[in-house]
Structure formats: C-alpha cells, structure tokens
Amino acid sequence: MRVTFKRDWIHSWLLLLPAMVFLFAFTHIPAVTTFINSFYSTPRGRRPAKFIGLENYERLWDDPVFWKVMFNNLWFALGTIPLSIALSIAMALWVNDKLAGRSLVRMAYFTPTVLPLIAVANIWLFFYTPGFGLFDQVFGALFGWSSTNWLGDPATALNAVIVVTVWKEAGFFMIFYLAALQAIPVSLVEAARIEGASRWTIFWRITFPLLMPTTLFVSINAVINSFRLVDHIFILTDGGPDNASSLLLFYIYEVAFRFWETGYAATLTVALLLLLSALAIGQFFFFDRKVHYK
C-alpha cells in the first residue's frame, strides 16, 4: 500500500500544480505584497515609500470615514443577506412546485444574473429619480405620495442600493436552492404530511433544516458579495450623499484609485480581508452545529 500512497501523492500534487501556480501568481503573492505595503507610506513621485510601522493602522483607527463605511457595510450586509436568502428560498420553493407558468417565472428570477450591473444601475437610477422616475410615477398614481428623493437622501440612499443588490443576488442564489431541493427525497415530505404537519411546519421542521448546507454555502457567498458588489454604487450614488451609501470596497477603490494612497488602501484591504476571514470562519462555527451533512 505504501507504494500506491506515494503514487497518489505525486498525482495529486501534479494535479494541483497548474491551479496553484495561477493562485499564487495572481492572488497570494499580490495579497502578501499588499500586506507588506500596509506598513509603508504611499510612494509619491519624488518621495519613495518608507517604512512607517503601524502608522497606517493608527490612521485607520482614527478615520471617521472608515468607521462610517464600516457601519454602512454592516447595515448593507444585514439588509442584503437575510433578505436575498429568504427571497431565494421562496423563489426556489415556488419554481420547484407545480406552478402555472413555471419556466417564465424562473426565467424572470434569473434575469438579473445575466444583465451587467453597470448597465442595470442606470435603469435603477431612472426608477429612483424623483419626479418622473418610475417609483415616483407609480407611487404617486397609486398612493398619491409626493416625490421621494431615494438616492439623494442619506436616510434612504443605502437602502435603495440594498434593494438593487437583493434584486441582483436573489435569483443567483435561487439556483443553488433549487438544486438542493431536488435532492430532498419526496418521501420525507410525505412522511411529515402523514404525521399531520402543515406546509408551514414541513418547511420549518424539514425542508429548511435539510437546506442548511446550501444555506451555509450561499450565506458565505452572500457575505463575500456584500463586501464585493460595489459596481452599481458608482452610478447610483457615487457613495454619497456624504458617504451615506459608501461601502468598504468602494472606499478602498476611492482611496486607491482616486486618492492614489496605495499604502493606506493596502491597510484598508488588510482590514477587509481580516474581517471577511473572521466572518467566514465565524459562519462555519456558527452553522456547523446546525448543519446536517449527508
């Protein structure tokens, strides 16, 4: 057996080699460079980078915009993740059921995944525009509401962005739930029905727990996305008003590619990575007790 073992080792290393080369070249090495840069000042033309220890981190600690953006991002995550997951489960359940016009509905749910976010952001911009925008027209006609400046009011700007994000993500997650639902044996649901359980009970006591592994996967993805999806912010609000709708990655982008403070941007990136890893690991621990693996 020892012989075959060795052979397996070499095989697996060879199999992994190509992927690892690419991962190292385009993810890990740049990431390490970024980490190192976070301890240096930003090089500017005539002044080369110099080692400044934790200065960038001190600045980060004192940066009110960072904290604001951080808070925004938490709110954004809280707003998008549960909502998009709940919606995607509902969508998957509907589309999995015998529903009139099922394929049309499925198609509708899935369109946001296919449309480019930059283009779609312009459409949402129109929906949100006060006065002649679609929402104002519709709400005005239906409820007689006066015009609302969804994107221009700090109180609603971030929520408006959340709506777009949920719209974009739910259909994508639906696909994973759909696949998971297919894998649940029908007899489990039947057994529960025989025991007298209502649809609601069946969902909460059977279906939902059995979807847990998918929920774990989806929610990790959702967490990562909640820190990654910023394309639409450029067009919808540009982070405004007064950073009310700015998110961490958007801020990093601003610092790196508008302010050109690469040292500080690296520091922010490190903070983001730490946060994401903590969240991902935390999720694993949190879910691990509740997830039933086959």
Q: Does residue 86 bind another protein (CB under 8 A)?
A: no
Report which of 221, 46, 77 is spatially closest to residue 161, judged by C-alpha positions.
77
- Cβ atoms of 77 and 282 within 8 Å: the answer is no
Determine the 3-state secondary structure of 258 from DSSP.
coil
Please report where in the chains the tokens 């915009």 appear, as a residue.
65
Determine the 3-state secondary structure of 112 from DSSP.
helix
Using CA atoms, how far apart are residues 266 and 162, in angstroms rounded to an integer? 26
Nearest-approach distance from CB 44 to another protein, in angstroms: 5
Pick between residue 78 and residue 99 the one whose CB is nearest to another protein: 99
Pick between residue 209 and residue 282 the one whose CB is nearest to another protein: 209
| Binding segment toward another protein, per CB under 8 A, in 52-60, 71-79, 88-96 | 88-96
| Binding segment toward another protein, per CB under 8 A, in 2-10, 50-58, 75-83 | 2-10
Using CA atoms, how far apart are residues 9 and 228, in angstroms rounded to an integer? 36
Nearest-approach distance from CB 187 to another protein, in angstroms: 4
Judged by CB under 8 A, the residue of 54, 78, 191, 282 near another protein is 191
12 to 51, contacts with another protein by CB under 8 A?
A: 12-13, 15-16, 18-23, 25-31, 33-34, 44-46
Task: Write out the two tokens for 88.
Answer: 């995607």
Pick between residue 74 and residue 276 the one whose CB is nearest to another protein: 276
Quick one: angle between helices 64-96 and 154-182, nearest 10?
40
Q: Does residue 59 bind another protein (CB under 8 A)?
A: no
